[in-house]
Amino acid sequence: MSQRPLILVTNDDGIFAPGITALAKIASKFGDIVVVAPDKPQSGMGHAITINSTIRIQKSHYHKALMEYSCSGTPVDCVKMAVNHILKKRPDLVISGINHGSNSSINVIYSGTMSAAIEGALEGTPSIGFSLCDYSIEADFSQAEKFIEKIIEQTLKSGMPKGVCLNVNIPKLKAEDIKGIKVVRQAKANWVERFDERKDPYGRDYYWLTGEFVNFEPESLDTDEWALSNGYISVVPTQADLTAHSVLKEFNFS
């Protein structure tokens, strides 16, 4: 094996999604790539892992990669499987995406794309999740190419603090209209849900989860939502400590 960086590429839209093809192509400029990605769409899987059923992997040759496997599990399973079984070593970088749709703000906790990057960081590897704010299967991933290259190149050069990964969201804009890259925090926001109620052909009720995104702080200038609305790529350094440190002292049960 060469001395080029070893880059693990994964996603949550599945191994055949246009977004991972675009990302694998960009990554191959910087190192040898290994693709381990879900064998079917796994959007909204969050940090799910497969513990109540078995996992299968299958060699595939869809991307130009050193090794490539589709995996029956979740995005987090893919990273665990790649690092602990397929590679049996830590890659130099884990990249996930490019997701078809935003993973900014509170979406980060529902996102399979970002959970794969968080898992990469937990395994001790600099990791980045990329998402384009365009859900279309025809989304144009090429417009942000030079920015993605810059973020990958700088991360390979400078590394990442232990346990931290990057949540990169890209506005749906032409290359010349992207104003640059802003390092920001996750905006406070939520989804207001509605369940679309339908009847199946047998008269039984079923539901589709739908909802509307609500930004609780549209005027804050230091958030990912602000950056995206104002033509910037947002980069949120992200980690898996969920402790609400600022209110720890407010509780006492003794």
What residues contact residue 33 under an 8 Å CB cut-off, 6+ apart? 7, 8, 9, 24, 27, 63, 64, 65, 66
Binding to a second copy by CB under 8 A, coded x per residue (else -) over 195-214, reads x-xx-----xxxxxx-----
Binder to a second copy among 136, 137, 146, 183 (CB under 8 A)? 183
Q: ∠35-40-43 over CA atoms, to 5°?
A: 95
- Interface of this chain with a second copy, residues 95 to 154, rule: CB under 8 A: 106, 108-110, 115, 118, 122-123, 150-151, 154
Count, residues near a second copy per rule CB under 8 A: 77
Binding to a second copy by CB under 8 A, coded x per residue (else -) over 6-35, reads ------------------------------
Residue whose CB is less far from a second copy, 2 or 254: 254
- Residue 194 as a binder of a second copy (CB under 8 A): the answer is yes
d(CA 157, CA 160): 9
Q: How far is the CB of 226 from a second copy (least distance, A)?
A: 14
Residue whose CB is less far from a second copy, 57 or 228: 57
Binder to a second copy among 76, 116, 128, 170 (CB under 8 A)? 76
Q: How far is the CB of 3 from a second copy (least distance, A)?
A: 26
End-to-end CA distance of the chain: 58
- Taking CB under 8 A as the binding criterion, the range among 60-68, 78-86, 125-133, 135-143 that sits at the site for a second copy is 78-86
Record the tokens describing residue 125, joined without a space.
């590897």
83 φ, ψ (degrees, to nearest 5): -75, -45
- Residue 1 as a binder of a second copy (CB under 8 A): the answer is no
Residue whose CB is less far from a second copy, 2 or 242: 242
Binder to a second copy among 29, 44, 177, 221 (CB under 8 A)? 44
145 φ, ψ (degrees, to nearest 5): -55, -45
Q: How far is the CB of 240 from a second copy (least distance, A)?
A: 5
Q: How far is the CB of 84 from a second copy (least distance, A)?
A: 4
Query: Does 98 sit behind a cis peptide bond, omega within 30 degrees of 0 on the bond before it?
Result: yes
The alpha carbon of residue 188 and the mean position of all alpha carbons in its chain are separated, in whole angstroms, by 19
Measured CA distances, 146 to 37, 79, 121, 152, 220 (Å): 24, 26, 24, 10, 28
Q: How far is the CB of 112 from a second copy (least distance, A)?
A: 8
Measured CA distances, 158 to 7, 152, 161, 182, 222 (Å): 15, 10, 10, 17, 23
For helices 18-27 and 145-158, angle between their N-to-C axes, nearest 10 degrees: 50
